[in-house]
Structure 1
Amino acid sequence: MTNPKYAVFDPARPYFDLVRTALGDLVDGEHFFDIVADDVVYEVLYDIAGWPRVIEGRPDLMAQFRGYCDHIRLQTADKLVRHAMDDGRGLVIEYEVHGTILATGVKYHNRFCSIIRIENRKVAHWRDYMDSLAAWNALTARAR
């Protein structure tokens, strides 16, 4: 059952579920926003309009994902590859997401690699890489 306080983030649920599965028992909490530290640093190494390169703190991260969910609905997240490191203090995950750009109906498919540092059973730092061309193509495609 989905926690009602996270209902606004339902369009990104496949991503959140994949991340929660990937982190397994390395972290505490049920939802993605429960497993990130209050002072999490979420860093993206790509330029997408409206998404800052560095997000600091859970409230700002939630605000960014709220905007994401206004524009994209994911149907699935898959092809998870998990690489443990640093005796459980770090994890590298590779995965894909598949969804729809809501304004245009254009299908969105992207690949990611995320490097995650865990402290006190919470995600303390997240560094994200993605296929920027896939995002650009989906976001600039014309409506169907």
Structure 2
Amino acid sequence: MTRPVDDITDFAALEPFFRIVQEGLAGLVDGEHFFDVLAEDVVVEYVVSVPGYPRRIQGRRAVADLYRGYGDIMVLHSADGLAVHHDPATSVVVLEYAVHGKAVHTGRAYDNHFVSVITIENRQVTHWRDYLDPVAVFQAIGWPAEPR
């Protein structure tokens, strides 16, 4: 399997997210890094998200391309609160977790909670539905602009 990114350091701002996902999927998927566990044709849906973010993307490379610029907006320093719910009969895993960091342009704290519904086939993630708190993003980036 070839990694869908040339330089994994491009994604350093997301390392806490990658770690908590790997922890939640431990023993269920193969791969050394987040991108390695995604099937080549993975479908990712952002069900609850923020304006301007895609609602659906397909392909491991597309996920990498989308996440590549994350560090220009947010830098994560930790992730916690992991709860794992696994249904072996359907090969579905639900991960609940929180990420913590800082918005690059405002310097404000970023604390968000996620629910990720993940389908696994042949020890790879084939489908991912993501839910987040968009208000946490807005507060961190200062949107809408606050009056002075």
- TM-score, structure 1 length as denominator? 0.91
C-alpha RMSD of the superposition:
1.9
For residues 90 and 31 of structure 2, what CA distance do their matches in structure 1 show?
A: 16
Matches within 5 A, 1:64-143: 64-87=66-89, 89-140=91-142
What is the CA deviation profile of residues 83-124 of structure 1, one whole-angstrom value per residue up to 9, with x for unaligned ones? 011337110010000001111111100001110000111000
Corresponding residue to 1:46 among 44, 48, 54: 48
For residues 61 and 17 of structure 2, what CA distance do their matches in structure 1 show?
A: 18
Among all aligned residue pairs of Structure 1 and Structure 2, give the percentage whose two residues are the same amino acid. Answer: 43
For residues 95 and 47 of structure 1, what CA distance do their matches in structure 2 show?
A: 16
Matched residue SS, 2:50: coil
Is the Cα contact below 8 Å between 1:73 and 1:99 reproduced in 2? yes
For residues 42 and 69 of structure 1, what CA distance do their matches in structure 2 show?
A: 20
Matched residue SS, 2:41: strand
Where does structure 2 lack aligned partners over 5 or more consecutive residues? none
Where does structure 1 lack aligned partners over 5 or more consecutive residues? none
Stretch of structure 1 that moved more, 61-70 or 6-15: 61-70
Is the Cα contact below 8 Å between 2:102 and 2:110 reproduced in 1? yes
- TM-score, structure 2 length as denominator? 0.88
Matched residue SS, 1:128: strand
Matched residue SS, 2:116: strand
Is the Cα contact below 8 Å between 1:90 and 1:117 reproduced in 2? yes
**1:89 is matched by which residue type in structure 2?**
S
Deviation at 1:25, TM superposition (A): 1.1
Matched residue SS, 1:48: coil
For residues 7 and 87 of structure 1, what CA distance do their matches in structure 2 show?
A: 36
Stretch of structure 1 that moved more, 20-29 or 65-74: 65-74
For residues 73 and 11 of structure 1, what CA distance do their matches in structure 2 show?
A: 5
Bigger proportion of residues as helix: 1
